[in-house]
């Protein structure tokens, strides 16, 4: 995929994420219908409606690239990703935030190639913000009026870090790790928005010691990489995709 192709595709995926966000909002403004996924976590009608918007468009735009989408996987629809390139879609990341009407939920669309994310879009429907990035092309954010500006990670002060962590998935391992850092400020946010805060230079570190799936992280990971950040395991190894069951281990996202 050429740099020009990536830029054009990223623009189209940004539009698609906004289309999905518009589908989600009426559910958010009413009482969401809540059920349970295979792992016991909540799912709403909005998840399914947004995914029904996203998947056909991706299949039309890139018919040779399989789409791994959260709700489809939950229904047993798992495509062959052995070719090394595939989409990862979380139509509504942060369902607990959505149900509790806290606004920190996102639409995540990421493209993986040879084990790593190369392109991604994260959109927060409530405030209209959108973050996008293609590795090698840089990253940008766009407000609800379409105003766009480039973003990049900041150089961290190693003695005074701003840490952003999960709002709904705190645990003793996470608290212990944060306590080991020279923290100036600790921020709690939901969904993939945490990646975007690091990517735009608002936070320095995002650690995760709870369970996530690849569709939770691919889009935000791509934005972070495009903005100059990094994501590794706690052991400092590369954070790779196409894992068994698409299940992630612990990770640390960092800015500059």
Q: Consult the annotation and say whether 216 binds a ligand.
A: yes
253: left (phi over 0), alpha (psi -120 to 50) or beta: beta
Contact by Cβ (8 Å): 212, 248: yes
Contact by Cβ (8 Å): 84, 124: no
H or E element in which residue 10 lies: helix 3-29
Q: Consult the annotation and say whether 90 binds a ligand.
A: yes
Cα(154)–Cα(200) distance, rounded to whole angstroms? 8
Tokens of 124: 């927060």
Tokens of 100: 């509790």
Contact by Cβ (8 Å): 102, 192: no
Contact by Cβ (8 Å): 189, 104: yes
Q: Consult the annotation and say whether 162 binds a ligand.
A: no
111: left (phi over 0), alpha (psi -120 to 50) or beta: beta
DSSP H helical segments within 101-249, as ranges?
172-179, 193-199, 214-226
What residues are paired with 36 via a beta bridge? 42
Q: Consult the annotation and say whether 229 binds a ligand.
A: no
SS3 state at 227 = coil
141 CB-side CA count, 13 A: 20
Q: Consult the annotation and say whether 92 binds a ligand.
A: yes
Cα(164)–Cα(86) distance, rounded to whole angstroms? 29
Q: Consult the annotation and say whether 256 binds a ligand.
A: no
> Which residue ranges make up the annotated binding site for Mg(2+)?
70, 90, 92-93, 216
Sequence ranges of the binding site: 70, 90, 92-95, 216
Please report, in range form, the residues annotated as the binding site for substrate.
70, 92-95, 216
């Amino acid at each position: 995929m050429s740099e020009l192709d990536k830029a054009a595709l990223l623009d189209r995926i940004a539009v698609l994420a906004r289309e999905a966000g518009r589908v989600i909002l009426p559910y958010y403004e009413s009482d969401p219908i809540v059920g349970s996924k295979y792992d016991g976590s909540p799912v709403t009608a909005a998840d399914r409606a947004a995914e029904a918007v996203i998947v056909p468009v991706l299949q039309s735009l890139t018919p040779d690239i399989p789409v791994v989408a959260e709700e489809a996987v939950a229904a047993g629809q798992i495509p062959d990703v052995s070719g090394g390139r595939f989409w990862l879609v979380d139509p509504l990341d942060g369902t607990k935030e959505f149900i509790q009407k806290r606004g920190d939920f996102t639409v995540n669309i990421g493209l993986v190639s040879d084990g790593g994310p190369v392109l991604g879009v994260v959109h927060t429907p409530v405030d209209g913000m959108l973050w996008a990035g293609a590795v090698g092309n840089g990253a940008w954010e766009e407000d609800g009026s379409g105003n766009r500006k480039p973003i990049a990670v900041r150089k961290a002060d190693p003695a005074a870090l701003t840490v952003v962590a999960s709002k709904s998935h705190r645990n003793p391992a996470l608290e212990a790790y944060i306590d080991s850092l020279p923290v100036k400020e600790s921020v709690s946010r939901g969904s993939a928005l945490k990646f975007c805060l690091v990517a735009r230079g608002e936070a320095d570190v995002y650690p995760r010691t709870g369970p996530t799936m690849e569709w939770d992280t691919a889009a935000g990971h791509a934005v972070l990489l495009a903005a100059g950040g990094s994501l590794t395991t706690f052991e400092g190894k590369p954070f790779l995709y196409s894992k068994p069951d698409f299940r992630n281990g612990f990770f640390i996202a960092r800015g500059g």
